[in-house]
Every structure is written in C-alpha cells, then in structure tokens.
Amino acid sequence: MSAILVVIGFVILVTGHQSGWLYVGGVAFLSGSILADQLNIVHSEIELIIFSLTSGALGALLVAYLRKILVTIAGLISGGYICYYLPVALGWETSWINWFLVTLVGLASAIMIFLWGALPLILISSLLGATLIVQHMTFGPISPTGMFIVLSIFGLIAQWLLWQYSKPDNA
C-alpha cells in the first residue's frame, strides 16, 4: 500500500492543480484507505486496496459534474491530512495536534481554495504530495525535513510552470 501512496503522492505533487480529477481521485483514495483502516471495514490488504481504488475512482468520476465542490472538499481533507500527518512523518513532537486544529486547518484550506482557486490549490496539493512521499519512503542520509522541503519546492515549481504554460497566448 505504501508504494501506491507514494505514486499517488508524486502525481498530486506534480499535477494537483492541472488535473483536478487526479487530485480529487488521489484524495478520495487516501480518504478511503484511512476510513477503511480506522473503521475496520476491511480485513486484508487486497480488500483495503480495492476499497480505496473504488473510493478514488468514484471521486475522480464525480469531478466531471461537481468540480468546484469536490476540489474544495478535497482541499479540506488535504489540509487536515497535512496538519495531522506531516509532523509525524518529520519526526516532530505531536502532542499539540488535536481535532480542533486539524479541522481548523482543513477549513482554512477549503476556504482558500474556494475563494482564490489556483494558487492555494497549487500550494496545498504540493504540500500533500510531499507529505505522502515523505511519510511512506525513506531517503537514506537525507533527513525527512530536508526531503520534504525539496519535494515541496519541486512541486510548487512544476505546478506553477504547468499553470503558466497552459494559459492561452494573448497575441
């Protein structure tokens, strides 16, 4: 499952803003895996993967009809996920994390995406992708914090360039 989450993290890191269906599908996959694990809905790894893939596919398909709403909800989930899991992945002390803070960060992420669109989505999807990669991989001599910074900057630059080059010329 970790390999799948690393691939999803990389896809979100690079194309989070450009491909809304991939972003929402990846967040839905992630949400499905967390939900199934926490509620003990599944009993084996293959069932967890199938449940998560179903969640991801459903989210990706619904984007065609409810793009703004689903991208905003994915932003809410992404912000909460980053707030909850990033400090753990970086090896920081986590006693300060509580449900109120996670909810507040998730709501702030959703509101920023809803109001301002592209730039907050680029930031949040880059941070989510970097968090997923750092959380599920080890990088040998490179610290998780250093790798998170490198991946975040890479994601921001990649998505910014994709966003800039996707705009039509005004010539």
Predicted local confidence at residue 169, as pLDDT:
66
Can you list the residues of the chain whose pLDDT is less than 70? 168-171
Tokens 């702030």 belong to residue = 108
Q: What is the DSSP letter of 142?
A: S
Q: How far is residue 34's CA from residue 40's CA, in Å, rounded to a whole number?
A: 10
User: Are residues 10 and 137 in contact, defined by beta-carbon separation less than 8 angstroms?
Assistant: no
Per-residue model confidence as pLDDT tens digits over 115-158: 988 889 999 999 999 999 999 888 888 888 899 999 999 999 99
| Letter string b/e over residues 83-106, b meaning 16 or more CB atoms within 10 A of that residue's CB | bbbbeebbeeeeeebeeeebeebb
Tally the residues of the chain: 171
Nearest Cα residue to 15 out of 169, 168, 128:
128
Predicted local confidence at residue 96, as pLDDT:
86
Predicted local confidence at residue 79, as pLDDT:
93
Predicted local confidence at residue 16, as pLDDT:
80
Predicted local confidence at residue 18, as pLDDT:
81
Q: How far is residue 32's CA from residue 74's CA, in Å, rounded to a whole number?
A: 12
Predicted local confidence at residue 171, as pLDDT:
53
User: Are residues 48 and 42 in contact, defined by beta-carbon separation less than 8 angstroms?
Assistant: yes
